[in-house]
């Protein structure tokens, strides 16, 4: 008995199976041949076409995708146009959008932004309907760098022609880029546009805009937006409140910052250490030391573990009140909870001891810093030098000044000025000139008082009448 052919017998899958098998063989042949290539300039696409012609089939979308990835990974970008031209002419081939998504990303990594834009515009010519995925991929690429933001406007202008409708993800990409580049006004406009298009912006978009407002706008705008965020049904997070609290403290509105902290708690949120640190710092700057102590106790009651910044703020508060004994005891508390004091901790105590002339305490602090292996910084030297000058120990201050320079630290202009004037008052104009020389060699400009002190000393040395050097400078 003679069997009929599969085709005449009505087996429709036979031809497709053969085609798939032929494609597999063609791709294996292609991969083998390109693996043997020695010359990087060889036209890889020609090899692909030859391999598929051998099996009497045309390259599939997967084959095109593979060869584009192959040449891209080897930076053979000059070969891509020919591949795309051939793909465009294959009128019977349905080209998936994923090929163009991958190509946009490839061009982005190679910083070939215009090529990425061009391929996006060209997608419809490949019998492929571009979706918001292609648009978002391109926008994400262009929004990464500030200089490429200018290209975004042209892309957005042509998007309606391509019948691509914005989605919430598109707005998110644009708002994030605008916030990152300080264009918070434009970000707010886009947020309003989202609402007009009946999109409900997510809480993280509001948080992003709020954070940018805190960096680039004033308190009034920030508080207004905070209320808008709540009206939209999004409760600000502790991190959102922290950003606003930091701004309020910076603007000297510490009581308002404290109110926000209380509001955070009333909403059932638990403030973190950063929230308290910001408000503590504000009250310390306002010399409201009683509230500082109350807030610190409140932190402990809530079970929040103070960090190094918390302790430094409290130590500064106690030092400013002259309560050095209690301030010093804070270091023991730090040790007990495993929070090691840093250079700033000791600088705060040294500043207090220096102003009150506590020489023994200063020596004890310096010894303890050595024992705890805490390095001095420029602020440590400035504090000690200023303290020595304040207590009329100019020679010791000058010695410490030389040590400071020897260790590579740059003194504050005010410290240098005070040292020069103090040396001149002692008649140590040679030493004063050396300090001045160091001043001139650094990016520090001596003020008029320094020049007047030096001139006064020189005139006294020559037995002449002192001259008002500041008046001379003012007249010139």
Per-residue model confidence as pLDDT tens digits over 187-244: 999 999 998 888 889 999 999 999 999 999 999 999 999 999 999 999 999 899 999 9
Alpha helices in 36-60, H assignment, sequence order: 44-54
pLDDT at position 463 is 55
**99 contacts 64 by C-beta, under 8 angstroms:** yes
Residue 453, pLDDT above cutoff 80? no
pLDDT at 15: 64
Q: In the Cβ-directed half-sphere of 372, how many Cα atoms lie within 13 Å? A: 19
354 in Cβ contact with 390 (< 8 Å): yes
More confident call, 56 vs 4 = 56
Q: Quick check: 387 pLDDT over 50?
A: yes
pLDDT band at 156 (very low <50, low <70, confident <90, very high): very high
pLDDT-above-90 percentage for the chain? 64
Kindly report whether the global pTM for this prediction surpasses the value 0.85: no
Query: Residue 413 is encoded by which pair of tokens?
Result: 């202009």
Tell me what the mean pLDDT of segment 445-463 comes to. Answer: 67
Tell me how far apart the alpha carbons of residues 423 and 411 are, in angstroms, rounded to a whole number: 16
For 407-432, what is each residue's pLDDT tens digit?
999 888 889 888 988 888 888 878 88
pLDDT band at 456 (very low <50, low <70, confident <90, very high): low
Q: Which of 73-82, 226-235, 340-349, 445-454 has the lowest mean pLDDT?
A: 445-454
More confident residue, 20 or 445: 20
3-class secondary-structure state, position 251: coil
Torsion, Cα of 409, 415, 421, 426 (10° steps): -70
Among the listed residues 215, 147, 226, the one whose alpha carbon sits nearest the alpha carbon of residue 179:
215
Q: Are 348 and 383 in contact (CB under 8 A)?
A: no
Residue 169: is its pLDDT beyond 70?
yes
Banded pLDDT at 436 (limits 50, 70, 90): confident
Domain residue ranges in the chain: 179-233
Taking the C-alpha atoms of residue 140 and residue 126, their distance in angstroms, rounded to an integer, is 23
pLDDT at 146 over 80: yes
Tokens of 385: 């030098």
pLDDT of residue 457: 67
Give the residue from 419, 448, 451 showing the smallest Cα distance to 435. Answer: 419
Q: For residue 68, give the 3-state DSSP assignment.
A: helix
């Amino acid at each position: 008995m003679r069997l009929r052919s599969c085709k005449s017998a009505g087996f429709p899958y036979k031809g497709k199976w053969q085609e798939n098998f032929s494609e597999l063989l063609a791709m294996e042949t292609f991969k083998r041949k390109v693996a043997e290539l020695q010359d990087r300039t060889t036209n890889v696409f020609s090899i692909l076409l030859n391999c598929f012609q051998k099996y009497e089939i045309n390259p599939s979308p997967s084959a095109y995708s593979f060869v584009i990835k192959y040449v891209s990974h080897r930076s053979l970008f000059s070969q891509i146009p020919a591949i795309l031209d051939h793909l465009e002419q294959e009128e019977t081939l349905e080209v998936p959008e994923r090929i163009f998504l991958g190509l946009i990303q490839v061009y982005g990594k190679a910083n070939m932004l215009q090529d990425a834009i061009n391929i996006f515009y060209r997608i419809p010519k490949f019998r492929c309907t571009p979706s918001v995925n292609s648009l978002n991929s391109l926008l994400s690429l262009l929004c990464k760098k500030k200089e490429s933001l200018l290209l975004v406007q042209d892309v957005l202008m042509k998007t309606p022609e391509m019948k691509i409708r914005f989605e919430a993800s598109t707005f998110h990409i644009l708002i994030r880029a605008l916030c990152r580049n300080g264009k918070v006004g434009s970000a707010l406009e886009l947020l309003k546009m989202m609402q007009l298009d009946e999109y409900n912006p997510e809480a993280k978009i509001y948080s992003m805009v709020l954070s940018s407002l805190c960096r680039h706008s004033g308190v009034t705008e920030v508080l207004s937006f905070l209320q808008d965020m709540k009206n939209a049904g999004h409760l600000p997070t502790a991190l959102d409140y922290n950003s606003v609290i930091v701004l309020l403290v910076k603007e000297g509105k510490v009581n308002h910052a404290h109110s926000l902290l209380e509001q955070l708690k009333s909403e059932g949120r638990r403030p973190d250490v950063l929230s308290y640190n910001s408000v503590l710092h504000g009250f310390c700057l306002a010399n409201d030391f009683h509230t500082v102590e109350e807030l610190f106790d409140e932190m402990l009651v809530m079970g929040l573990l103070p960090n190094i910044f918390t302790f430094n703020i409290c130590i500064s508060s106690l030092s400013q009140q002259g309560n050095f004994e209690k301030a010093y005891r804070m270091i023991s508390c730090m040790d007990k909870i495993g929070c090691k004091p840093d250079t700033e901790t000791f600088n705060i105590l040294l500043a207090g001891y220096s102003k009150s002339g506590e020489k023994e305490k200063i020596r004890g602090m310096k010894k303890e810093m050595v024992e705890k292996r805490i390095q001095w910084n420029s602020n440590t030297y400035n504090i000690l030098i200023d303290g020595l000058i304040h207590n009329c120990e100019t020679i010791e201050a000058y010695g410490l000044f030389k040590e400071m320079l020897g260790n590579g630290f740059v003194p504050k202009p005010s410290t240098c000025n005070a040292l020069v004037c103090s040396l001149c008052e002692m008649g140590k104009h040679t030493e004063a000139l050396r300090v001045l020389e160091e001043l001139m060699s650094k990016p520090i400009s001596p003020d008029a008082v320094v020049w007047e002190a030096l001139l006064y000393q020189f005139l006294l040395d020559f037995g002449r009448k002192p001259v008002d050097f500041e008046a001379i400078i003012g007249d010139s």
